[in-house]
Amino acid sequence: MSQETIWDRLQRIDRRVIYWLLFILLILPFLRPLGLPISISPQSRSLLEGLRKLKEGDVVVINISSGVSAWPECLPSLVAVSKVLIQQKAKIIYWTSFVDGHMTFEKIVEKVPGFKGLTYGVDYVHLGFYTGAEPTVAQLATNIRAIFTTDYKGTPIDQLPIMKGVNSAKDVKMVISSDTGDYGDYYIRQWRIPYGVPFAEIGIAMLFSNYQPYWPEIVFGMTGGAKGGAELEKLIGEPGDATVTMDAINTSHLLVVVAVILANLGYAATRRRR
Amino acid sequence: MGYPTTIDGILGIWTALALMLFVYSYPLYKENQLFRFAEHLFIGLSLAIAAIIAIQTTKRLAITPLMEGKVYYIVPILLGFMMYLILHRDYRWVSRYPIAILVGSSIGLGMRGTIIPNILSQIIATITPPKPGADATAWFNFVYIGIGTILAVMYFLLTFEHKGPLLYPTRLGRWVIMIGLGAYFGNTVLFRMAMLSGRAQFLLQVLGLVPF
């Protein structure tokens, strides 16, 4: 019987050991922040530059296609973008394709102090939930009232001053989509291309590579996950949740990198022996 | 938002924490009754919410306009009901009509905005060199994306055997694809860790170790 080497033992580590290590590494930075540096990507920078070009009264649609489970990824960017939109005195219309999207909207309002000086229905509104994927997004581009007859509280849309004269994509200056799936593509195909509405993407980290080819011609700016949120927070000079989260993500990634290296070394060593 | 002070608020966060720990007991320990309870509760609640939302949406977008005299709304309602005939063996064929309409309209809508962003713009972006004064990274990306695109496409020339003049370009193309998939996987890991970090933060918040 051949002697068991350290490489054999490494390949047989119980997955629970890795999970516990990961959990501990994720927790520690919250208790003692490391303050690791955050580099700014050109995509985040161009998102902010695009937002800064907005003028007072411009109508901006924020599509929330990410649920509560994606808050660590998407919420920091949504909060940062809403802060900038308020500074630009833009009118913000939120709507969502997620059933729990209203919770995200309410969280944004809670986290952005600027909303306290604004009036709901006049300066910002949440029209609520829509279903139907791409056909609905196409319908929204031609007639918003065909999908939304009231806001999420049940107030008829025509009684909301912010909606006066806002009927279709032609009346919207910019659309921003917060996604965990395909909705960004729908808005590119149904809003950006046919109507030329400037489009920005706030996606989870997984989507960053998907939208990279669209930047900057089709998608003028974008952020990827918590990293993108931390970049925006740094750009606007208001560190928030994503800045704290990035330390935890960095330490956990270190574990993943070490695990990948060890696994490959172990594989190479045992293969050579065979 | 500070730590909840109301009874329902405190009960809510502790219930959420307990359910979260039940779920994590599976990867951190092993499958157990508490995990299964949380799993079944989650599936049941998700289904209930989905059913309520579906009924509310159908009522708002179809039934209410129909009741207001817009008779043509009967068409989508009927198409919707026809879809459910997929469950009946004898009348399954009826469901093909609404599915055909759904697939056809979705493809048609999708095609509308596909050519420009997914083909034309990306070809233009690939062959457009960086602006004068661009840094070395921009030039590296330009060369890498240009050559990498050609090599990756060559890998999918499946009508020719990958040997002779095609041997090395297709091998390199495979490497380019693997690097791309690696970057995608890296972003996937980043996403999962961020989700997990949110839960870790929540745990500490409920325990009062970090502020809400």
pLDDT value, residue A199: 97
The answer on pLDDT for A220 being more than 90 is yes
Q: How confident is the model at residue A274 (pLDDT cuts 50, 70, 90)?
A: low
CB atoms B196 and A22 under 8 Å = yes
Q: Which residues of A, range 190-229, sit inside 8 Å of B by Cβ? A: 190, 192-194, 204-209, 213-214, 217-218, 224-227
User: What is the rounded average pLDDT of the residues A89-94?
Assistant: 97
Contact status of A108 with chain B (Cβ, < 8 Å): no
Backbone phi, psi, residue A12, to 5°: -110, 15
pLDDT value, residue A2: 62
Spatial contact of A230 and A205, defined as CB atoms under 8 Å apart: no
Q: How confident is the model at residue B1 (pLDDT cuts 50, 70, 90)?
A: low
Q: Is the peptide bond before B130 cis (omega within 30 degrees of 0)?
A: no
Tokens 């009509």 belong to: B97
CB atoms A226 and B197 under 8 Å = yes
B119–chain A nearest CA distance, Å: 10
Domain residue ranges in chain B: 7-112, 115-206
Contact status of A74 with chain B (Cβ, < 8 Å): no
Spatial contact of A208 and A225, defined as CB atoms under 8 Å apart: yes
Parallel/antiparallel/unpaired status of strands A124-129 and A91-96: parallel
Domains along the sequence of chain A with CATH? 42-244 (3.40.50.720)
pLDDT value, residue A95: 97
- What average pLDDT does the structure give for chain B? 90
User: What is the rounded average pLDDT of the residues A51-78?
Assistant: 95
DSSP letter for each residue of A161-226: GGGTT--SGGG-SEEEEEESSSHHHHHIIIIIHHH---EEEEE-HHHHHHHGGGTTTTEEEEEEHH
B99 CA to centre of own chain: 22
Q: Residue A52, Cβ neighbours under 10 Å: how many?
A: 10
> pLDDT, tens digit, for every residue of A241-262?
899 889 998 999 899 889 888 8
Model ipTM value: 0.81
pLDDT > 90 in chain B, percent: 57
Backbone dihedral region for residue A240 (phi beyond 0: left; psi -120 to 50: alpha; all else: beta): beta
CB atoms B193 and A26 under 8 Å = yes
Total residues found in chain B within this entry? 212
The answer on pLDDT for A135 being more than 70 is yes
> pLDDT, tens digit, for every residue of A140-199?
999 999 999 899 999 999 999 999 999 999 999 999 999 999 999 999 999 999 999 999
Q: Which of B112, B116, B204 sits opposite A30 (nearest CB)?
A: B204
Q: Which residues pair with A201 in a beta bridge?
A: A177, A222
Q: How confident is the model at residue A66 (pLDDT cuts 50, 70, 90)?
A: very high
- At CA B42, angle to CA B81 and CA A137, rounded to 5? 50
Contact status of A32 with chain B (Cβ, < 8 Å): no
Sheet arrangement for strand A174-179: A124-129, A91-96, A59-65, A174-179, A199-203, A219-224
The residue among A121, A105, A58, A109 whose CA lies nearest residue A85 is A58
Spatial contact of A242 and A83, defined as CB atoms under 8 Å apart: no
Q: Which residues pair with A178 in a beta bridge?
A: A64, A202
Higher pLDDT, B125 or B159: B159
pTM of the model: 0.87
> pLDDT, tens digit, for every residue of A31-40?
988 888 899 9
Contact status of A30 with chain B (Cβ, < 8 Å): yes
Higher pLDDT, B205 or A12: B205
Spatial contact of A76 and A241, defined as CB atoms under 8 Å apart: yes
- At CA A264, angle to CA A258 and CA A266, rounded to 5? 100
Q: In this structure, what token pair is assigned to residue A35?
A: 């303050």
User: What is the rounded average pLDDT of the residues B77-84?
Assistant: 93
Total residues found in chain A within this entry? 274
Contact status of A188 with chain B (Cβ, < 8 Å): yes
The answer on pLDDT for B153 being more than 80 is yes
pLDDT value, residue A184: 94
Mutation test of the interface with chain A: which of B193, B195, B203, B207, choosing the one with the most A Cβ atoms within 10 A?
Answer: B193
B197 → chain A, closest CA residue: A26
The residue among A108, A243, A106, A32 whose CA lies nearest residue B210 is A32
User: What is the rounded average pLDDT of the residues A51-62?
Assistant: 96
DSSP character for A41? P
User: What is the rounded average pLDDT of the residues B171-186?
Assistant: 92
User: What is the rounded average pLDDT of the residues B75-88?
Assistant: 93
CB atoms B196 and A110 under 8 Å = no
Say if residue A184 is exposed, middle or buried (CB neighbours under 10 Å; 0-12, 13-18, 19+).
Answer: buried
User: What is the rounded average pLDDT of the residues A44-51?
Assistant: 96
Q: Which residues of A, range 124-153, sit inside 8 Å of B by Cβ? A: 129, 131, 133-135, 138, 147, 149
Q: How confident is the model at residue A1 (pLDDT cuts 50, 70, 90)?
A: low
Contact status of A72 with chain B (Cβ, < 8 Å): yes
CB atoms B193 and A138 under 8 Å = no
